[in-house]
Structure 1
Amino acid sequence: MQRLNRSAIHLLPLFFLVIIFPACKSKTDAAKTAPKETPPVVVDVIIGQPQPITNVVEANGTVIAQEFVELHPEVSGRLTYLNFAEGKPIAQGTVIARVNDADLRAQIGKSKVQLQLAEKTVERYKPLLDINGINQADYDAVVNQVNGYKADIVYTQALIDKTVIRAPFSGIGGLRQVSPGAYVTPATVIATLQQTKQVKIDFTLPEMYSNIIKTGAMVDVELDAATKEKSKALIIAVEPGANTDTRNLKVRAVLKEGSSNPGAFVKVYIDAGKSRSSIKVPTNCLIPDDKNNQVVLVKNGKANFVNVTTGIREANTVEILKGIEPGDSIVVTGVLFARPKSALKVRSVKKLEDLNKTAEGNQSF
């Protein structure tokens, strides 16, 4: 009996191991199979608050010369004279080039000789007509010859005038495209001539802004993107009809301050008035949808997707007309990782001004 009791005592630890080991294993397996909780998405937010918005419309423009012309000959022939100062001022009426006109001048000489003979014939026929020595028809035929030769001389002189290229206005000469002795045609460009003392700005605007474009109004022009300095320009004309392809209106203004080279790219800013206060958000926090734009708000630690109505767009921000109330927390970073009703962890509260400075710095870089 004692020997049996001793054996039972030795088996007790083994009995407890058999019972406890499966229980521990089941707890370990349960821990492994249990779903892990998704950690909250870390985001930065801004607090929605009304800010002043100036309704300034931005347009792309091109600088054009006050006057511009390509100098072409009106007739074909060889250049016998070329006097063109590249990049120098040229006065109006200056003879720039001449085309060979020897044949035309010879034609004028021939017509003048024929005219003299015809005039002498008229002088001889006149007394005879008075005494009925010749009939009226013979006298009229000679007079007609005189008028014909005079017309030939005028016509030939007009052709000679076409062989001379003169400066149509005072301006700055461009680069010469031909050399003396070259054979030219009306399609040949000898050089260009431009007036650059006061340049014009051509720009286009969507037709929806036709009500803010008025002749005589002033606009701001950014001539240099590096310095951001703006000059004033006066609107002098608006194209009556919109472009049928782009539905844009073409506007022309005269630059009153500063100067620029014709052909340069500029930015034009037009004040459309109606300044107001609205909530603005960075453009990169907008989520485009098929029908609406959305932003993510933080409410009770959860991501809340709301539809918004946008207004005026600026370089890095956009106006929100509906969908956001003052005091709402708007997600500006981590937007792509947020899911509806998912947990969010706010890392910091940003200021819209700081975000704009960062965006401008990235663009300039």
Structure 2
Amino acid sequence: MQKRPFILIASASLVLAACTSKEPAERGRVSAPAIPVTTALVEPMQWVDTIEAVGTTKARESITLTAKISDTVRKINFQDGQHVDAGDVLVELTSGQQVAALAEAQATFKDAERLMSRNNDLVKQGTVSKQVADTARATHDSAQARVAVLRAQLADRVVTAPFSGVLGLRQVSVGALVTPGTVITTLDDIDTVKLDFSLAERYLAAVRTGLAIVVATAAYPDRSFEGTVMSVDSRVDALTRSFLVRAEMPNADHALRAGMLMTVKLLQPAREVLGIPEIAVEQVGTGAFVYRVQEGNKVSRTKVEIGARQQGKVEILAGLAAGDRIVIDGTVKLRDGSLISDATPKPAPSP
């Protein structure tokens, strides 16, 4: 019976000790300092989706100039890389024999024309028969055809530019014997450049003429080029399940050449989305979370559904609403329910 008071005293001491040890812990939690963070409001923004591809440039017009007949080069009228206009004479082949033959044919034609005219007058006077006049007319027509043939042969001995553009490297020299198909040079119209690129079949509904593109190339790492989709192929390749798109880009300074490899970003029409800085998203496995600021400067760890990403921004499909304030910097130290202090810089006052 004497042990019972001792037991009661010991129990009371333990309860008092537990209460005493609990109070500092509770006071420590209450007095935990606020964590400084940077916050931002969730607001609607204009979002432009992009489709990326790789393409190859082509000249708007391109041709390989070749000889049409077998003969020697008499004169070359261009330099490598020269800009020429349509109709400029580039190469002249030896043509002395053809020039003499044309002169002879033209003289024959003039005689036949005079004879035909005289016989027509005599027929009217009844001096010669109509048969003689018909023979003279046939001789005239034959001489005229001969002149046309020789002129065409002379034209084949002169190589001209079919359109305006920039010439490539010269492949022949004066005195060289050329034959039909011998390459003389190339001619490219690159004032405007075509760009062909392939896209996967799933993008077919998203691509149409008039869409803007932004293009880059390793040749000009600090420069981008802009263009417009001009046409979409009418067929999808059954093997690759892709289709061909053709765009055009202005190239007034001739910086781009045919055959260059380009990276293409096809810009979709802008749409309004909720977008936040990508650094505000905490990725845990397959889940994405942000810290939303609530009353009393406490944060709530909120699960969100994310969509597209671009240029440091991420699209929010679900989990947040316009007007919510979230933590964008300083999330590493946060836990659900943490107390924060907003260290977001204040905007400068308007002058």
Instruction: Give the TM bin, normalised by the shorter chain.
Output: 0.5 to 0.7
Cα deviations across residues 2-41 of structure 1 (Å, max 9, x unaligned)? Answer: xxxxxxxxxxxxxxxxxxxxxxxxxxxxxxxxxxxxxxxx
More strand by share: 2
The residue aligned with 1:85 is: 79
Shift of 1:136: 1.0
Contact 2:59/2:190 (<8 A) preserved = yes
Report whether the alignment pairs 1:254 with 2:249. yes
Does residue 238 of structure 1 match 2:234? no
**Which residue number corresponds to residue 54 of structure 2?**
60
User: Are 1:182 and 2:176 matched, yes or no?
Assistant: yes
1:263 pairs with 2:256: no
Report Cα offsets for 1:322-365 as digits up to 9, x if no partner.
Answer: xxx9xxxxxxxxxxxxxxxxxxxxxxx9xxxxxxxxxxxxxxxx
Question: How far apart, CA to CA, are the structure 1 residues paired with 2:147 and 2:210?
Answer: 50
Structure 1's unaligned 5+ residue stretches are 1-51, 279-294, 298-310, 326-348, 350-365
Helix, strand or coil: the match of 1:172? strand
Deviation at 1:54, TM superposition (A): 6.8
Task: Answer whether contact 1:206 1:249 (CA < 8 A) is retained.
Answer: no
| 1:141 pairs with one of 120, 127, 135 | 135
Alignment of 1:87-126 (within 5 A): 87-126=81-120
The 5 Å alignment of 1:341-360 reads none
1:219-234 equivalences in 2 (<5 Å) = 219-224=213-218, 227=221, 229-234=223-228
Aligned-partner Cα distance in 1 for 2:103–2:59: 43
Q: CA deviation at 1:150?
A: 1.1
Offset, 1:98: 0.9
Aligned partner letter, 1:205: L
Contact 1:174-1:192 at 8 Å conserved across structures: yes
Q: Is the 8 A contact 1:242 1:250 kept in 2?
A: no
- Confirm whether residue 201 of structure 1 aligns to residue 180 of structure 2: no
Residue of structure 2 equivalent to 1:164? 158
Letter in 1 for 2:67: P
Q: Distance in 2 between matches of 1:270 and 1:152?
A: 58
Indicate if the aligned counterparts of 2:85 and 2:164 stay in contact, CA closer than 8 A.
Answer: yes
**Counterpart in the other structure of 2:205:** 211
Query: In 1, Cα distance between the equivalents of 2:80 and 2:228?
Result: 31
Query: Gaps (5+ residues) in structure 2?
Result: 1-44, 276-284, 288-306, 320-331, 333-351
CA apart distance, 1:219? 1.1
Q: CA deviation at 1:59?
A: 0.8
CA contact (8 A) 2:119 2:128 kept: yes
8 A Cα contact 1:74 1:162, kept in partner: yes
Distance 1:134 1:181, change over 3 A: same
Letter in 1 for 2:108: Q
Tell me the SS of whatever aligns to 2:187.
strand
Moved more, 82-91 or 115-124: 115-124
| 1:28 counterpart residue number | none
What is the DSSP-based 3-state SS (H/G/I as helix, E as strand, rest coil) of the residue aligned with 2:172?
coil
In the TM superposition, residue 152 of structure 1 has moved relative to its aligned partner by: 1.6
In the TM superposition, residue 277 of structure 1 has moved relative to its aligned partner by 8.2
Measured after TM superposition, the shift of residue 170 of structure 1 is 3.2
Confirm or deny: 8 A CA contact 1:86 1:174 kept in the other structure. Answer: yes
Distance 1:54 1:234 in 2: 16
CA contact (8 A) 1:231 1:257 kept: no
1:157 maps to amino acid: R
Q: Quick check: 1:200–1:255 contact (8 Å CA) kept in 2? A: no
Partner SS state of residue 147, structure 1:
helix
| Shift, 1:99, TM fit | 1.7
Q: Distance in 2 between matches of 1:123 and 1:226?
A: 70
Q: Give the TM-score, by structure 2 length.
A: 0.58
Pairwise CA distance, 1:137: 1.4
Report the CA distance between 1:122 and its aligned residue: 2.7
Normalised TM-score (structure 1): 0.56
For the residue of structure 1 that corresponds to 2:104, the secondary structure is helix
Structure 2 CA distance for partners of 1:202 and 1:133, relative to 1, 3 Å: same
Measure the CA separation in 2 of the matches of 1:255 and 1:204.
Answer: 21
Q: Classify 1:212/1:109 alpha carbon distance in 2 versus 1 (closer, same or farther; 3 Å).
A: same
Note closer, same or farther for the CA distance 1:257–1:180 as it changes in structure 2 (3 Å cut).
closer
Question: Secondary structure in 2 aligned to 1:75?
Answer: coil
- The answer for the alignment partner of 2:146 in structure 1 is 152
Contact map agreement 2:194 2:246 (CA 8 A) in 1: no
